[in-house]
Structure 1
Amino acid sequence: MNKRYVPPYVIFEVANVHAGNVNYLGRMIDAFSRVEYENKGIKFQIFSPDGIALPDFEWYPVYKELCFDRSVWKNMINETAKYGDAWVDIFDGYGAIVLQENIDHIVGIKLQASVLENHEIRSVLEQVEFGDRRLIINVSGLALDEVHAVYDYFSGIAENVILQIGYQSYPTKISNTGLQKIPVLHAAFPGVPLCMADHADANENFALEVPIYAAVLGCSYIEKHFCLDRKMAKYDGFSSLEPDQMRSLCASLKNASLASHGLFVSDDEKEYLGKSIQIPIARHAMNSGDLISKSDIIFRRTKQSGLSFREIQDIQNQKHLLAMSPAANASFHRENFRPANIAVIAACRMKSSRLQQKALLPIVGVPSVDRCLSQCLAIPAVHRVVLATSDLEADAVLRNHTLNGAVDFWQGEPDDVISRYLGACEHFNIDVVVRVTADCPLILPEIITYLLEQHFLSGADYTAARNAAVGTAGEIINVRALKKVRDYFGAAEYSEYMTWYFQNNPGHFKINLVQLPPSLARDYRMTLDYQEDLKMFNRLYEKLNNEKSFYSADEVFAVLDGNPEISKINGHLTLKYKTDKDLIETLNRETRMEAV
């Protein structure tokens, strides 16, 4: 709920406009009472001529004219208390005596910048029981370090100190108003209330504007000179507002403060936005198992309720996908989504010709396929790891490499890898596949985690890294996309090279090629295909702590970056699918789907 709104406190500054006329002062109090404003006070300047100046000072005769007996001030302060708060401006010991005599009817004290060092006044104020009374100290003309010094002193004797800016000239130039001090003082004195006391020419619009500016900038107190008739004022009339102007100012302060307070987003704002906002609408019919990307939606106003795009992304970032099939022009709802079942599927066969039975070759005593699967088990977001091989007898030996049952085992098509994957996906009810090959002993969990995040964030069908070290990453593929390849091609003859079926068909699939952050990107060769690769891995693992079940990117790259001779062992080798022109031409031809 909103707290009760309180507009800025307005201090009606009487100053010397009364010219020593007691009746005029009484009429001013009456005029003050007739300005309807809930948060206001009237302030009197109280002094004696001999307490404020020496006879040689040019204004000394005027001070004699303006001085009232203490009994007059007592009556005026008591009268004021009937209509609002009484404040006193103290200049000397005489004013301090009036303060002490009327303390029960005074809510606030003001000290001009010119008296802050007056130890006569300081010693009296130190004896005052301030309680919850407020103390305004004007800091005009003081540097910031000096402001800190006086604040430290006065906050030691009064609990509620207010810092005031603004000084009186005849008139004060607009360029000397000092609004720029407000944010500086807010930063230097957090939580301390600020007051603006401007002295602009009251005949100019600026005199009614500057308090509004100050209030919007954060001043919770506004002091303004006040008179009955500026033309008739003998003293201090130039910056004094007449009663109608004060009413206008108070009304404007209410409006300005109402316009700049409240909740960051109001209920009315929410209602307006709710009625007018364009929400995501399905551009076309979608299917269960899909992720939503920018290309899948249009934004329209509609009588339908629905999720915002940010809400859709938030849901997908939690690794959710569509559970039902929204029709074209339908909005999206939370019940449209369900958690995705994410699995790593590691393809592995025993048929390698270049490095025979490489899946079982030991790397510092541990079969390479076991190294790969241990890395995959360390990926936080996946629900299972599947070792997928063929149903041929020669590959049955891999059943012994499920790390004591931590890894699931699947046998399927020997050569159609996509069919083999889909068999595993249907059996284990998988929605999103992390495709890796078991000839990569050091799949790095951080890279897979990053790719999964980017996959769900973008709403892709297929995600891969542009700049990963060979053998450290995998590909993220929606099972729906795998089914689309199978439905189009039937048997996917070249699905050992699964990448091509997706990256060659951007018109059919939402492709998301990701640039890894520098901490995860290198140019090393970390796949097992030749004897040199095996030698490199053995040297690498000898440098790693061989007691761990898996290794992080930081650990692996720290060794390789710090020992360049290790990566040089196999750095000269190339990948067939990147260098064999005939194979590349065949793949480009045979994996491409007709444009839609």
Structure 2
Amino acid sequence: MTGVPVPGVSADDAGPRIVGIVQARMGSSRLPGKVLRPLAGRSVLGRVVRAASDSGVLADLVVATSTDTVDDAVAAECARLDVPCHRGPVDDVLDRFLGALAAHPGDAVMRFTADCPLLDPEIITLVASVYRAVPGLDYASTSIARTLPRGLDVEIIRAETLRTLGRLATDHHRVHVTSYAYTHPELFRVLGVTLTPDRSALRLTLDTEQDWTLVRAIIDHFGDVSVPLAKLADWLDGQPRLRALNADVRQKNLEES
């Protein structure tokens, strides 16, 4: 992707109506309250909402949080950000997404998680472009054959496919929303979007205090802007101490909630 301009796709262009859904909860086993931590005067959730909006591909955007009273703070932040908020089950995240989709109908859903404050709007635009270009596709994601850092992946699923998952998925698949689709490629038309060069060794998500220290250092350097991945990766190439901060953090397995 380096040096190659990605064509913009407007939400008004002919094609499927894409709804963005951001899952956000205050509860986190390793870093509670992470989605509302401040970064350069903007919450982590606020940065995710901005990146999704700046992609220009979404016809609608909604935050899906839980009915737990601790998530009243998430709903309040959504009101401050002027973004719709749907509240549903704490653990059945798939049901929460289906409720958000019912309230904000669309032909396809782009799923975002609120612990990815370094999302690149250009990558969101690219994945939407790929999805629009392949008729009949059920699911597309950059994480099937990972070359992006954790925290910058983008996925999109056909709305009818998401509703099908609502009938078929059980156990941990209901927590991870789309995982039943990409683990059953014999049932669904699945496409992996691979970007080069391979930067999968970088960890740019927010799940631990080590992640927080790295993310905060990045935002302290770049400020309150969405940073293109190529620019960010080039800078981190010269920051071995920062890259080492969370290099040993273990990502949870799919079966772990």
* TM bracket (short chain): 0.7 to 0.9
In structure 1, distance between residues paired with 2:10 and 2:76: 34
Deviation at 1:483, TM superposition (A): 0.7
**Residues 448 and 521 of structure 1, relative CA distance in 2, 3 Å threshold:** farther
2:159 pairs with one of 465, 479, 483: 479
Deviation at 1:547, TM superposition (A): 4.3
Q: How does 1:152-231 map to 2 (within 5 A)?
A: none
2:209 pairs with one of 517, 525, 531: 531
Deviation at 1:509, TM superposition (A): 0.7
Match of 2:78 in 1: 402
In structure 1, distance between residues paired with 2:79 and 2:49: 8
Q: Deviations over 1:150-170 (max 9, x none)?
A: xxxxxxxxxxxxxxxxxxxxx
Letter in 1 for 2:185: P
Q: How does 1:495-514 map to 2 (within 5 A)?
A: 495-514=174-193
| Overall identity of the aligned pairs, in % | 27
Q: How does 1:17-56 map to 2 (within 5 A)?
A: none
User: TM-score, structure 1 length as denominator?
Assistant: 0.39
In structure 2, distance between residues paired with 1:365 and 1:405: 13
Is residue 19–residue 105 contact of structure 2 (8 Å, CA) maintained in 1? no
In structure 2, distance between residues paired with 1:369 and 1:480: 27
Query: Is the partner of 1:498 in helix, strand or coil?
Result: coil
Establish whether residue 572 from structure 1 lines up as the match of residue 251 from structure 2. Answer: no
The structure, 1 or 2, with the larger RCO (C-alpha pairs under 8 Å, 6+ apart) is 2
Letter in 1 for 2:141: A
The structure richer in helix per residue is 1
Match of 1:457 in 2: 133
In structure 1, distance between residues paired with 2:154 and 2:139: 11
**Residues 395 and 319 of structure 1, relative CA distance in 2, 3 Å threshold:** closer
In structure 1, distance between residues paired with 2:180 and 2:207: 23
Establish whether residue 470 from structure 1 lines up as the match of residue 150 from structure 2. Answer: yes
Match of 2:220 in 1: 542
Is residue 40–residue 224 contact of structure 2 (8 Å, CA) maintained in 1? no
Establish whether residue 416 from structure 1 lines up as the match of residue 92 from structure 2. Answer: yes
Q: How many residues are matched? A: 245
Match of 1:33 in 2: none
In structure 2, distance between residues paired with 1:350 and 1:404: 16
Letter in 2 for 1:554: A
In structure 1, distance between residues paired with 2:187 and 2:238: 43
Deviation at 1:492, TM superposition (A): 5.7
Is residue 55–residue 122 contact of structure 2 (8 Å, CA) maintained in 1? yes
2:173 pairs with one of 491, 494, 505: 494
Root mean square deviation, CA, Å = 2.6
Letter in 1 for 2:155: E
Q: Deviations over 1:425-471 (max 9, x none)?
A: 11111221111110111111111111112222223111111221101
Q: How does 1:128-167 map to 2 (within 5 A)?
A: none
Q: Find the structure with the greater CA-based Rg.
A: 1
In structure 2, distance between residues paired with 1:438 and 1:447: 16
Query: Is the partner of 2:212 in helix, strand or coil?
Result: helix
Deviation at 1:485, TM superposition (A): 1.1
**Residues 561 and 522 of structure 1, relative CA distance in 2, 3 Å threshold:** farther
Q: Deviations over 1:47-92 (max 9, x none)?
A: xxxxxxxxxxxxxxxxxxxxxxxxxxxxxxxxxxxxxxxxxxxxxx
Match of 1:560 in 2: 236
Deviation at 1:386, TM superposition (A): 1.3
In structure 1, distance between residues paired with 2:11 and 2:57: 8
Letter in 1 for 2:148: A
Q: Which runs of 5+ in 1 are unaligned?
A: 1-316, 321-337, 588-596
**Residues 561 and 493 of structure 1, relative CA distance in 2, 3 Å threshold:** closer
Deviation at 1:533, TM superposition (A): 0.6
In structure 2, distance between residues paired with 1:499 and 1:568: 31
Deviation at 1:318, TM superposition (A): 8.5
Match of 2:116 in 1: 440
Establish whether residue 516 from structure 1 lines up as the match of residue 195 from structure 2. Answer: yes
1:344 pairs with one of 20, 38, 43: 20
User: TM-score, structure 2 length as denominator?
Assistant: 0.85
Deviation at 1:551, TM superposition (A): 2.6
Query: Is the partner of 1:577 in helix, strand or coil?
Result: coil
Q: Deviations over 1:202-249 (max 9, x none)?
A: xxxxxxxxxxxxxxxxxxxxxxxxxxxxxxxxxxxxxxxxxxxxxxxx
Q: How does 1:243-322 map to 2 (within 5 A)?
A: none
